[in-house]
Chains A and B, each alone.
Chain A
Amino acid sequence: MEKREIIAKLKAIVEPYIQDEEAFKDLSEDTDFVRDLKINSANLVDVILDVEDAFDIRIENDEMERMLSVKAALKIVNSKLEAK
């Protein structure tokens, strides 16, 4: 899957949980889920579960640990898709 395509999917996943519209509009690889999008940590669990469902992958808790940004999510999703 292309990077662009993964980012578009991630953007759709986070949309229901964001609390900063401006940061969401400008979402890029460098966007931080908490610092920029102000997603609360309860909803961060939903984001992870939604990512697992959308890409049909399983993210272990110690991999999830780093998933605080679009870039980090991209990296994990990519490595999981490649391992399939």
Chain B
Amino acid sequence: MIGNDIVDLNKSALNWQRPGFQEKVFSKDELNLISISKNPKFTVSLLWGMKEAAYKVYVQQYKKRSFNPSKLNCVLFESNNGLVKIENQTYQISSTITKDYIYSVASTKTLNVYKSEIFKLEDESYLAQSESIRHLFFESFSIDYGFNLKHLYLKKSSLGIPELFYRTTKLPLQISLTHCGNYAGYVYSR
């Protein structure tokens, strides 16, 4: 299973300096990591993105929504490579880091291949971004798999997980979409 998350480093909604914010989101170890970081904003954004991506996999596995980021524990090997642990699950995280954004993909260990792309979007409104990233995903997918773009659409399940349909048939794919500030990304796998 797969999940992704993008954080626009200039425009994210993370009010990370607000008193009480970090305690709601991070574990003790993570708070330590942030406190010794030379760039706490970067570390906060990285850990946040890892948790978000991992949560998207977790919710697919357990079919239950929740909101408790501090329970998703991040382990960093390098900035762009780590794990997120929750209960007895471990997810692999791979991050793409630039000066403008951090993009993280979380996957279960058994997963081997996925396709992922990142885009810059100008329009920052929620609806426009949500539309754009869906369209970009359809374009790529229709080329790769030879489906007619016109008949592809996405529906969100009651858990908020996107499901891909061709005409009336649900396709057996896992998809995750994300957008933040001026950036967006999709990832999908068989």
Please report which residues of chain A, range 25-84, place their CB below 8 angstroms from some CB of chain B when the two chains form the complex.
34-35, 38, 40-46, 48-49, 52, 61-62, 64-68
> What is the interface of chain A mostly: helix, strand, loop, or mixed?
helix
- The answer to whether B15 touches A45, judged by C-beta atoms less than 8 angstroms apart, is yes
Which residue of chain A is the closest to B70 with respect to CB atoms? A61
How far apart sit A66 and B18, CA to CA, in the bound complex (Å)? 22
How far apart sit A19 and B25, CA to CA, in the bound complex (Å)? 22
- Select one of B13, B24, B48 contacting A43, CB under 8 A: B13
How far apart sit A19 and B129, CA to CA, in the bound complex (Å)? 12
Interface residues of A (CB under 8 A from B): 19-20, 34-35, 38, 40-46, 48-49, 52, 61-62, 64-68
- The answer to whether B20 touches A49, judged by C-beta atoms less than 8 angstroms apart, is yes
Which residue of chain A is the closest to B65 with respect to CB atoms? A68
Residues of A near B77 (CB, < 8 A) are: none
- The answer to whether A40 touches B66, judged by C-beta atoms less than 8 angstroms apart, is no
